[in-house]
C-alpha cells in the first residue's frame, strides 16, 4: 500500500479556507490610494503652517505698534518727559526695551512707571526678538535704523507672504 500524501491547498488547512482575506493586489491598491491622499495633504499642511506664522506676525507687529502709539500719546499728554526722551525723537520711544521696562510718570512722587509691553514679541519667521526698526527721521523703506527713536517695526525676514507681498513691507 502506498503512503498517504498530505493534502494540498485549502484541504490542508480547512479552517483558513473558510476565512476570507485580502489578496496582495487589494493591499497594494489600498496602499497606493493612501499614498496619493497623503501626498495631497502635505502641501495643504505647509500652507496652513505658513498662514499661521503670518497671523502671528501680524499680531506681534500690531502689538508693538500699538505700544509705540500709546507711548507717543503719553508724551503728548505730558505724562512722560525729562530724561526719558531723547532730543529729536519727536516723542517716540528710544528703544523697544523702554516699552518693556517702563518710564516714570512726570510729577509722580510714588515712582510709578508706565509700561507698554509685557515683553518684546518673538518674530515667528526669524524665531528671535531682533526686529527691524525705523526712526521718525528714516525713510519709509529704509532697512537701517537711524537710532534716534522707534517709529516703526518690521520683520527682518526676507521671505514672501502667501499674498505675494514681502514680509518686511508689512
Instruction: Walk along the chain (170 residues) and give the pLDDT tens digit of each residue.
Output: 555 666 665 566 565 555 567 788 888 999 999 998 888 888 888 899 999 999 999 999 999 999 999 999 998 888 887 776 777 678 899 999 999 998 988 887 788 889 999 999 999 999 999 999 998 888 777 788 877 889 999 999 988 998 999 998 88
In which element (H, E) is residue 69 found?
helix 24-76
Quote the pLDDT of residue 73.
Answer: 92
In which element (H, E) is residue 52 found?
helix 24-76
> Which residue ranges make up each domain of the chain?
22-158
Quick one: cell of 166? 514681502
Beta strand ranges found along the chain (DSSP E):
103-104, 113-114, 132-134, 152-154
Quote the pLDDT of residue 15.
Answer: 58
> Rg of the chain's alpha carbons, rounded to an integer?
33
Task: Show Cβ contacts of residue 103 under 8 Å, excluding neighbours closer than 6 positions.
Answer: 71, 80, 84, 113, 114
Quote the pLDDT of residue 6.
Answer: 62
Write down the number of H helices and E strands in the chain: 3, 4
Amino acid at each position: 500500500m502506498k503512503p498517504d500524501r498530505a493534502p494540498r491547498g485549502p484541504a490542508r488547512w480547512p479552517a483558513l479556507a473558510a476565512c476570507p482575506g485580502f489578496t496582495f493586489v487589494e493591499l497594494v491598491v489600498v496602499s497606493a490610494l493612501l499614498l496619493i491622499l497623503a501626498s495631497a495633504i502635505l502641501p495643504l499642511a505647509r500652507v496652513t503652517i505658513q498662514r499661521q506664522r503670518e497671523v502671528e506676525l501680524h499680531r506681534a507687529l500690531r502689538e508693538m505698534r500699538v505700544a509705540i502709539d500709546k507711548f507717543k500719546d503719553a508724551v503728548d499728554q505730558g505724562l512722560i518727559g525729562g530724561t526719558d526722551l531723547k532730543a529729536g525723537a519727536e516723542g517716540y520711544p528710544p528703544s523697544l526695551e523702554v516699552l518693556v521696562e517702563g518710564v516714570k510718570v512726570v510729577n509722580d512722587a510714588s515712582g510709578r512707571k508706565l509700561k507698554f509691553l509685557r515683553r518684546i514679541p518673538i518674530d515667528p519667521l526669524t524665531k528671535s526678538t531682533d526686529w527691524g526698526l525705523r526712526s521718525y527721521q528714516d525713510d519709509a523703506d529704509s532697512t537701517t535704523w537711524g537710532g534716534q527713536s522707534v517709529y516703526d517695526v518690521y520683520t527682518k525676514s526676507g521671505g514672501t507672504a502667501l499674498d505675494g507681498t514681502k514680509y518686511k513691507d508689512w
